[in-house]
Amino acid sequence: MLDTYQNLILPDLRQMVAEGDSHGVTEFCRVVHPVVMGEMLEQLSDAEVWQVLDHAELDQRVEIFENINLRRQTELVETLDSGRLSELLENMSSDDRVDLLTRMPSGRREDVLRMIAQAERNDIRRLLSYDENSAGSLMTTEYASLPADITVRDALNRLREQAPNSETIYYVYILGDHRCLEGLVTLRELILARPDAVVSEIMQRDVVRLYVTDQRENVAQELARYDLIAMPIVDAENRLVGIVTHDDALDVVQEEATEDAYLQSAVQPLDDLYQDSPMLTILWKRGVWLLFLSFVALLTAKVLDHYRIATESGHLADQAPPDLTTLILLFLPLVMASGGNAGSQSATLFIRMLALSPTDSLNSPPVVSRRVQMRELAIATMLGSALATLDFLVAWLVLDKSPAEAGAIATTVFAVVLFGTCAGTAFPLLFRRLGMDPALMSNPLIAALVDVLGVVFFYEIAMFLL
């Protein structure tokens, strides 16, 4: 429901920026939810974004900036002077700023790090050092911690001091010597305990924890398994080095599901959302697998030819040259695989895009969706051309087909790739509009349609060209 709201207020914000109404912008940033602000700013130009953020108070500026997607964040800081950038980074939460710094060119990163205070800089450098698939890469170091030997009253007072610098104060970690993790006490337990009870009496000692080197999927799985708000992450000496909060775990689950769906349909995972990724990136991440799979399919043609010659040599030995039926037989698997694979890729990309988009925002601005559909068509044209060229050359030069025959194969491949992509794009959108699940048997259904239409295309094109 905030999405329609967002469409209503974005023009107001644009107008304020255009008129230079700095007081209005400041007030706007204070009142509107930072998540909504972040999403709105993604739709403005770099200059407009900075005009808005410069007029927001520091706290709001940081929170709004954190809610802009990482790709836009990276673009936005490219032109920002190092002084303002370091101020922003110093105030960002420790996990978000490391994500941004990881994306920046290393020269720029070093420039900016030099301007950041020593303690913060050490924290950043340590977080930057963890493998991107490890628990360490998800952590924030802003957790609340207490010693075990103080009273509940003191604990609550100390917690109030730590609150501004803690991502959550609902889980408080009890640390011993050398910051070793000894226990956990929840804010709920603190609130319910007698004020003069000692923390060590009420704390949980058997705390679920993971190692900084554990896989990031594990963090999400274990957090889900134990229904935790945050998972403590320790090093090999059981020293607490950070926590992963429930919201970051939820993001991991969604990212992993997307990655698996992509991989399963032979799309190399994208760093950003599909709709935010540059076209060349998508082209590369799909094309590389399609080309590989085409080589395997061409192998099928080789195998088919081997068997055909072996079986026909008896009764049809001298009936050369091979007829249309043979050509179709040899290359139909290639045609079907090309169309089916390209279609599955499109379907998967659209299904995951729909699964991750807030429902309202997709219904309301169909313009975005049309732009994405058009881009998909352009991608299909380019992928189809690349595959057709490859198949033409292999059929002509390697498999000794005539240029006309190779041309028929290539044209058919181009046609089915285009058709498969259109079907892969249309089915999820259609099913969704009908109130059904966009994922409904998309891959086999597209493959089946490509199979039937592939035959029709192949014969019609071959009869026309030969």
Residues 170-189 that bind its own copies (CB under 8 A): 170, 187-188
- Select the span of 8-16, 175-183, 213-221, 278-286 touching its own copies (CB under 8 A): 213-221
Contact call for residue 261 and its own copies (CB under 8 A): yes
**How near is the Cβ of 128 to its own copies at its closest, in Å?**
23
**How near is the Cβ of 161 to its own copies at its closest, in Å?**
10
Whole-Å CA distances, 225 to 145, 212, 231, 251: 24, 19, 11, 16
The CA dihedral of 347, 348, 349, 355, to the nearest 10 degrees, is 110
Sheet architecture: strand order including 230-234: 210-211, 230-234, 240-245
Contact call for residue 378 and its own copies (CB under 8 A): no
Contact call for residue 422 and its own copies (CB under 8 A): no
Which positions from 226 through 245 interact with its own copies, judged by CB under 8 A?
A: 226-229
Instruction: Please tell me the distance from the alpha carbon of residue 351 to that of residue 337, in angstroms, as a whole number.
Output: 20
Contact call for residue 403 and its own copies (CB under 8 A): no
CA-wise closest residue to 353 among 373, 339, 333:
373
Contact call for residue 47 and its own copies (CB under 8 A): no
Contact call for residue 434 and its own copies (CB under 8 A): no
- Select the span of 94-102, 134-142, 222-230, 392-400 touching its own copies (CB under 8 A): 222-230
**How near is the Cβ of 186 to its own copies at its closest, in Å?**
9
Residue type, 327: L
- Select the span of 99-107, 155-163, 276-284, 368-376 touching its own copies (CB under 8 A): 155-163
Q: Quick one: which of 249, 416, 417, 423 contacts its own copies (CB under 8 A)?
A: 249
CA-wise closest residue to 103 among 135, 68, 60:
68
Closer to its own copies at the Cβ: 86 or 405? 405
Which positions from 289 through 328 interact with its own copies, judged by CB under 8 A?
A: 289, 293, 296-297, 299-300, 303-304, 307-308, 310-312, 315-316, 323-326, 328
Report the run of H or E that residue 424 belongs to, with start and end: helix 403-433
Q: Which two tokens stand for residue 327?
A: 């050509």
Asked if residues 116 and 102 have their Cβ atoms less than 8 Å apart, the reply is no
- Select the span of 163-171, 195-203, 366-374, 393-401 touching its own copies (CB under 8 A): 163-171
Contact call for residue 208 and its own copies (CB under 8 A): yes
Report the run of H or E that residue 264 belongs to, with start and end: helix 246-264
Closer to its own copies at the Cβ: 64 or 249? 249
3-class SS of residue 89: helix
3-class SS of residue 150: coil
Q: Which residue has the tokens 């790739």?
A: 417
Contact call for residue 156 and its own copies (CB under 8 A): yes
**How near is the Cβ of 338 to its own copies at its closest, in Å?**
11
Contact call for residue 246 and its own copies (CB under 8 A): yes
- Select the span of 152-160, 378-386, 395-403, 408-416 touching its own copies (CB under 8 A): 152-160
Residue type, 305: D
Cα of 191 vs its chain's centroid, Å: 39
Instruction: Please tell me the distance from the alpha carbon of residue 362 to that of residue 369, in angstroms, as a whole number.
Output: 7
Which positions from 352 through 371 interact with its own copies, judged by CB under 8 A?
A: 355-359
Query: Contacts with its own copies: how many residues (CB under 8 A)?
Result: 102
Contact call for residue 29 and its own copies (CB under 8 A): no
Q: What DSSP state is assigned to residue 269?
A: P
Asked if residues 213 and 136 have their Cβ atoms less than 8 Å apart, the reply is yes
Closer to its own copies at the Cβ: 7 or 45? 7
Closer to its own copies at the Cβ: 100 or 453? 453
- CB neighbour class for 180 (10 Å; exposed up to 12, middle 13-18, buried from 19): middle
Q: Quick one: which of 340, 343, 407, 420 contacts its own copies (CB under 8 A)?
A: 340
**How near is the Cβ of 358 to its own copies at its closest, in Å?**
6
Q: Quick one: which of 18, 58, 117, 192 contacts its own copies (CB under 8 A)?
A: 192
Instruction: Please tell me the distance from the alpha carbon of residue 465 to that of residue 458, in angstroms, as a whole number.
Output: 10
Instruction: Please tell me the distance from the alpha carbon of residue 167 to that of residue 250, in angstroms, as a whole number.
Output: 16
Closer to its own copies at the Cβ: 426 or 455? 455
Closer to its own copies at the Cβ: 76 or 462? 462
**Bridge pairing between strands 181-186 and 168-175:** antiparallel
Contact call for residue 70 and its own copies (CB under 8 A): no
- Other C-beta atoms within 10 Å of 368: how many? 14
